[in-house]
Structure 1
């Protein structure tokens, strides 16, 4: 069984940048229509324009948490990373067009982590993970391992951007979002426990980060997080 203390949490998505908006989303399960990205005041305008939607939200939350907590380790998690930007590059190559230097330099999976470190002047260990639909559990496992290695505050940022239309046959279209969690190993904050449950034969309704966030907003003491193959039982102590 894994356990950790959740010291702080925040999420952003188009049309969902206030507690009341997130509470309505959790209760109704409906995403806002045609909403603009939330403001990202901690990002310079030029940087914000260059970032993809998911990375922009992730860096904003990362900088906010770095300013509010003495973070000494950070983990950025995304199943798809800069998929849309990479798709643009591949389409350009297929059409024999010159590649955008900005798209090329910002297409790596650790774009958000790197820019958060630079903009936040945070000289601390950062990593980027991708583990398919189980990326949240991978990030939590990594964070707990870092806590056990001696780090006191671990920042975990989970985010996804827009899915290109080409991939909608295989991947559902979802709104960009980012979720930031500050984990510790002391008794302060919310205590959470998670352990493997049973294998799943169906696709979960929500991605793991959103399923956890919705359960927390609804003040549920338990929730099940799956990836279509495995399910984990989470419990608030």
Structure 2
């Protein structure tokens, strides 16, 4: 069981860039696309050109949280990481073509965390997590542990999902093709609870589930775990 409080949140998808749009989405409205990728006008142009789509997603939600909250530590998380970049490197190897040093350096799992640190200038501690279908929950667990152990007042979790390369499409198990969610965990009274339960692991996006419960569209929802399912519910009224 994991009990936690969320002090702030930020999300991005091609059809929703602000809280009002996400409220409409949570109410069941189908929203048209408004952008194919985050603009990130605040990032230096030379650095911005290096960013993969996944890194863009992460920076897009991290920056507003950093501006609104005093973040003591960051946890960046994605199930598959920079797989698009890694696959292209493997294709180049198979073709006996030279590898791009820049692409190689940006293919690691903590790419988003490192680039956000560079772009924003923050020196707060950062962690990068990948834990299969439990990635989002393990990132929250890391944040809650830091807060409950009094190592931090506020910890931001930045989680992103993107479309996988075609040859790995079978591993796109319900994750959204383009979605980032950032939440700030603090020491307030617990508002949410996560429990792992027995059950069939159906497909689903943990970020979408979190948003629907966070925005009041549902009081309780389930999403897949590595073994069984995770039940996310609101605590109290």
Same fold (TM over 0.5): yes
TM-fit CA distance, 1:158: 0.4
* Change beyond 3 A, Cα 1:218–1:4: closer
Given that 2:26 and 2:217 are in contact with CA atoms closer than 8 Å, whether structure 1 keeps it comes out as no
Find the counterpart in structure 2 of residue 135 from structure 1.
Answer: 135
Per the alignment, in what secondary structure is the counterpart of residue 56 of structure 2?
Answer: helix
What TM-score do you get using the length of structure 2 for normalisation?
A: 0.88
Find the counterpart in structure 2 of residue 203 from structure 1.
Answer: 202
Aligned residue runs from structure 1 range 49-68, under 5 A: 49-68=49-68
What TM-score do you get using the length of structure 1 for normalisation?
A: 0.88
Equivalenced residues, count: 233
Q: Distance in 2 between matches of 1:233 and 1:160?
A: 20
Q: Distance in 2 between matches of 1:219 and 1:28?
A: 9
Unaligned runs of 5+ in 1: none
TM-fit CA distance, 1:25: 3.3
RMSD of the TM alignment (CA)? 2.2
For residue 181 of structure 2, the aligned residue among 179, 182, 205 is 179
TM-fit CA distance, 1:148: 1.7
TM-fit CA distance, 1:35: 4.6
Find the counterpart in structure 2 of residue 234 from structure 1.
Answer: 232
* Change beyond 3 A, Cα 1:75–1:14: same
Unaligned runs of 5+ in 2: none
Given that 1:163 and 1:174 are in contact with CA atoms closer than 8 Å, whether structure 2 keeps it comes out as no
Aligned residue runs from structure 1 range 77-226, under 5 A: 77-150=77-150, 151-171=152-172, 174-187=176-189, 191-196=191-196, 198-204=197-203, 206-226=204-224
TM-fit CA distance, 1:130: 0.3
